[in-house]
Structure formats: structure tokens, C-alpha cells
Amino acid sequence: MYPHFRLVGHRLCPYVQRVSMVMAARSIPHERVDILLDQKPDWLFELSPTGKVPVLVVDHERVLFEAAAICEYLDDLSGKNLFPSDPYARGVHRSLIAIGEEILALTARLIYQDMTEEQVDLTMHQMTGKLELIARQHEAGAAPSDRPLMLLDFVFATIFRPFALFAIALNRDLFTGMEDLRGWSVRLSKHEVVQNAVPRSYQAEMQKFISQKDGYLAGRLAMLPTVHLAHAQGTGQRP
């Protein structure tokens, strides 16, 4: 019997998606509460010292924050493992996830900070470099396609999800020359757990969310009609 869980998040946040996918994959029942990031309620700061999501409230009183810590706790509680049992393979997965965290940070910079085309080009170039590292190392961390999803998959499902939107807005396909990663993205997008981690209107909501920011990407997306791509992270195909 699990404790009562309340997951506080945001509909589009990749870190909340990660926790949501772990809970779904482990069949962990929970209550979900979503907030608006630009109108954070006061009670969020009472729960989380960082004022960020995700936050997991355990039995109405204990609180965990930070996605990695929450996922590890849930994994321990379920008695299963989000990492391979082999120590070397587990190390490879952790290394790839560390690079994935850097890609997510670059994605945030692209959305919130890059004001000019030159800044966007630099960020996209850095993202491509990180993805090329992943493409070279992914086979070492790969496993048969019928294996259960692991934390590595959950992390990169959230990384890949907005790429189709970026490609439409910036005419830049981040999977160019990395067909193994494109295939991984497509395989992930077909999993129910991955699909259900975001609303079916994810791409349109993400477009609107970014368009309301001040950066170069926001301006590009604001000029486009509402984007309706395949459910979840798109098909992984070139637009």
C-alpha cells in the first residue's frame, strides 16, 4: 500500500513529466494539481524551498522536491529499478542522463533567454553537440526495444518532445544526421506512458506558452498558425 501522494506540477514542465511517467510506469496512484508558472500560489513556496515544480506531498504533510530525488524515492518504494542491474550499464545511463540535463538547460535558455537569432544559433549549435555525444554513446546504454522503460527513456522523452515544434519555428531539425536518436524518439512517442504524461494538446499549448515569452523563438512561434502535431512528442519525423 502506497502513501497518499499529491503531485504538484505544471502541464508542460519536463521535470514534472518525468515524475508523472515514473508514477504511471509503476502504477502508483496519486492526486495531481497543476499550477501556472507565472502565477505561482503562495502555498507552493510553503511546500517547496525552491518554489519550483515538481513537488510531491506524501500523506498530506511530508514533502519532496526536485525530480531526480522524487523519482529515486518512488523507485525505491516500488521495489523496482529505473536503472540497469549491471553496474557498468547503470553508469552509462547516469552519464547520458547528465548530458540530458544539460540539453534541458539549453532548451530553457532557448525559450527564456535567447533574444536574437545569433543567440538562438549558438544555443542550437550547443544542443546539437550534446546530441551528437548522446548519439555516439546511446548504443552503449541501449537495450532491447521490448524492455521496460527506464529513467533514461523518461528523461529523453521529455527532451525530444518539443523538437518538432522547434523545427517548424526555426527550420532546424535537431535530429539531422542522428537517425538512431530520431528512431529512439519515435519509439518512445508510441508508449502510452510517454503519451499520457502531457495533455493531448501539448504542441499547441507549448506553442502558446513560448509565444508569450520575450525571446526570438517566441516571436517566431507567434507568427505561425496554431501548430497541431501528432499527440505527445510528435512523430519524430522532419516537418
Structural element, H or E, at residue 121: helix 117-141
Residue found by looking up cell 499547441 in the block: 204
How open is the CA angle 233-67-132, to the nearest 5 degrees? 50
Distances (CA, A) of 41 to 48, 221, 223: 11, 28, 31
DSSP 44-82: HHHH-TT--S-EEEETTTEEEESHHHHHHHHHHHHT--S
3 state DSSP class of 5: strand
State CA 99 to chain mean position distance.
13
Angle (deg, nearest 10), helices 151-160 and 14-25: 140
**Best CA proximity match to 142, nearest among 134, 194, 197, 99:** 134
**Best CA proximity match to 154, nearest among 204, 239, 79, 96:** 96
User: So which residues are the catalytic ones?
Assistant: 13
